C-alpha cells in the first residue's frame, strides 16, 4: 500500500503553454530530496484536462524515468470516456507507473451503476493497481460509499482519493472497506483528520510548495499523534486555504513560479492568478513557515 504524502504534481509550462521538461525534472528532484512519499503525475493539478493524449503519456513517462523507482509514481489516467481511460491506463502501465488514479467521469453524469461499470471495465482491461478518485466539486457527480465498496471487491482496485472533505463519510468508508483498501484524502485542510482515523495518506496540492512539511504532517498523523498533527495543520492552514482562491492549479502554479521553481505558464481556459491575490498567497506561504 502506498502511504503518506502523495503530491498532486503540477505540470510545469513555459509562458507559451508548452511543457517545460527541464522544470519537470527539477521539481521531481525536489520531492525526492524533501521526503515526498509518492508522486501523482497528470491529475487535476497536473492540468490533465488540457494536455493532449500524447503529452499526457509523455509526462507520465518522464516522471517515471526521473524517479527511477525511488518512490512510487501514480499516473492520472481518468476520463469521462471509458475507452479513453482504458487507453491512458494501458499507456501508463507500459510506461512503468506503479498505480493509476481514475477520476469519476465528469460532465456526462453517470448513475451509480454507470460508475461501477466504468471502473470495473477499466480494471478488467488493464492489470495495474487502480485508485478511484471522487471529486464531486469538479465532476458534478458523486460516487457514494456503497458503490466504492462494490468496486473494492475487484482485486486491482486498491483505493480511493476522497476529495469531498467530508471526514465523517471518510471514516465510515474506512470502517467498512477491506483492510487492504486504501482511503486517501484529497482535501488538504481535513486530510490529517482522515489519516488519524486510519486513512492511508493525502494526495496533496499544498505539497507542491511545502513538500517537507506535508511529508512530516502525514507521518505524524499516520502515527496517531493527534495534537502534534493538529498544531502542524493549523500552521499550514493559510496555504491550504489560499491555494484555492482561484481554481486549482492557478494559485499553486503562480506561487511556485514566484518561488522560482517553475515558469508562469498555464493553459487556457485557466489563466495566471489575478494580481489582487498575489500578496495574500505570498503571505500564506510566509505564515506557514515554509
Write down the catalytic residue from 116, 133, 184, 192.
133
Find residue 213's DSSP bridge partners: none
- For residues 8 and 46, the answer to whether their CB atoms sit within 8 Å is yes
What structural domains and CATH numbers belong to the chain? 4-223 (3.20.20.70)
Is 34 catalytic? The answer is: no
- For residues 263 and 12, the answer to whether their CB atoms sit within 8 Å is yes
Taking the alpha carbons of 64, 66, 67, 69 in that order, is the dihedral positive or negative?
positive
How many percent of the chain have pLDDT more than 90? 99
Distance CA 214, CA 252 (A): 15
**Report field, pTM of the whole predicted structure over 0.85:** yes
Site of grid cell 482515523: 197
Angle at 203 between CA 200 and CA 209, to 5 degrees: 130
Which residues have C-beta within 8 Å of that of residue 275, sequence separation ≥ 6?
none
N- to C-terminal Cα separation, the chain: 29
Counting Cα atoms < 13 Å in the Cβ hemisphere of 35 gives 11
Write down the catalytic residue from 93, 116, 161, 184.
161
Question: CA distances (Å), 199 to each of 9, 29, 185, 236, 270, in order?
Answer: 20, 27, 7, 19, 32
Distance CA 190, CA 173 (A): 16
Is 133 catalytic? The answer is: yes
Q: Would you write out the chain's pLDDT as a tens digit for each of its 290 residues?
A: 999 999 999 999 999 999 999 999 999 999 999 999 999 999 999 999 999 999 999 999 999 999 999 999 999 999 999 999 999 999 999 999 999 999 999 999 999 999 999 999 999 999 999 999 999 999 999 999 999 999 999 999 999 999 999 999 999 999 999 999 999 999 999 999 999 999 999 999 999 999 999 999 999 999 999 999 999 999 999 999 999 999 999 999 999 999 999 999 999 999 999 999 999 999 999 999 98
Query: b or e along 216-233 (b: 16 or more beta carbons within 10 Å of the residue's beta carbon)?
Result: bbbbbbbeeeeeebbebb
Please name the helix (run of DSSP H) or strand (run of DSSP E) that holds residue 100, with its range, or none.
strand 99-103
Pick the closest to residue 44 from 18, 93, 5, 78 (CA basis).
78
Phi, psi of 159 (to 5 degrees): 180, 180
Distance CA 204, CA 186 (A): 6
Amino acid at each position: 500500500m502506498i502511504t503518506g504524502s502523495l503530491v498532486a504534481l503540477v505540470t510545469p509550462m513555459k509562458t507559451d503553454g508548452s511543457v517545460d521538461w527541464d522544470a519537470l525534472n527539477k521539481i521531481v528532484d525536489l520531492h525526492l530530496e524533501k521526503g515526498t512519499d509518492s508522486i501523482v503525475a497528470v491529475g487535476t493539478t497536473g492540468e490533465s484536462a488540457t494536455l493532449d493524449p500524447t503529452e499526457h503519456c509523455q509526462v507520465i513517462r518522464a516522471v517515471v524515468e526521473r524517479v527511477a523507482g525511488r518512490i512510487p509514481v501514480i499516473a492520472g489516467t481518468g476520463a469521462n470516456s471509458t475507452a479513453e481511460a482504458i487507453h491512458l491506463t494501458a499507456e501508463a502501465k507500459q510506461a512503468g507507473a506503479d498505480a493509476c488514479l481514475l477520476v469519476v467521469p465528469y460532465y456526462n453524469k453517470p448513475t451509480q451503476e454507470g460508475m461501477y461499470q466504468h471502473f470495473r471495465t477499466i480494471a478488467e482491461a488493464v492489470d495495474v493497481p487502480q485508485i478511484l478518485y471522487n471529486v464531486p466539486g469538479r465532476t458534478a457527480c458523486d460516487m457514494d460509499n456503497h458503490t466504492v465498496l462494490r468496486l473494492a471487491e475487484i482485486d486491482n482496485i486498491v483505493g480511493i482519493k476522497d476529495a469531498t472533505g467530508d471526514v465523517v463519510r471518510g471514516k465510515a468508508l474506512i470502517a467498512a472497506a477491506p483492510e487492504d483498501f486504501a482511503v486517501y484524502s484529497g482535501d488538504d485542510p481535513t486530510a490529517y483528520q482522515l489519516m488519524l482515523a486510519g486513512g492511508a495518506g493525502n494526495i496533496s496540492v499544498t505539497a507542491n510548495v511545502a513538500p517537507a512539511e506535508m511529508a512530516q504532517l502525514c507521518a505524524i498523523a499516520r502515527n496517531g499523534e493527534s495534537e502534534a498533527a493538529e498544531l502542524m495543520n493549523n500552521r499550514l492552514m493559510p496555504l491550504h486555504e489560499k491555494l484555492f482562491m482561484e481554481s486549482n492549479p492557478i494559485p499553486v502554479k503562480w506561487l511556485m513560479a514566484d518561488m522560482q521553481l517553475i515558469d508562469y505558464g498555464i493553459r487556457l481556459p485557466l489563466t495566471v492568478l489575478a494580481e489582487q491575490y498575489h500578496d495574500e498567497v505570498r503571505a500564506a506561504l510566509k505564515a506557514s513557515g515554509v
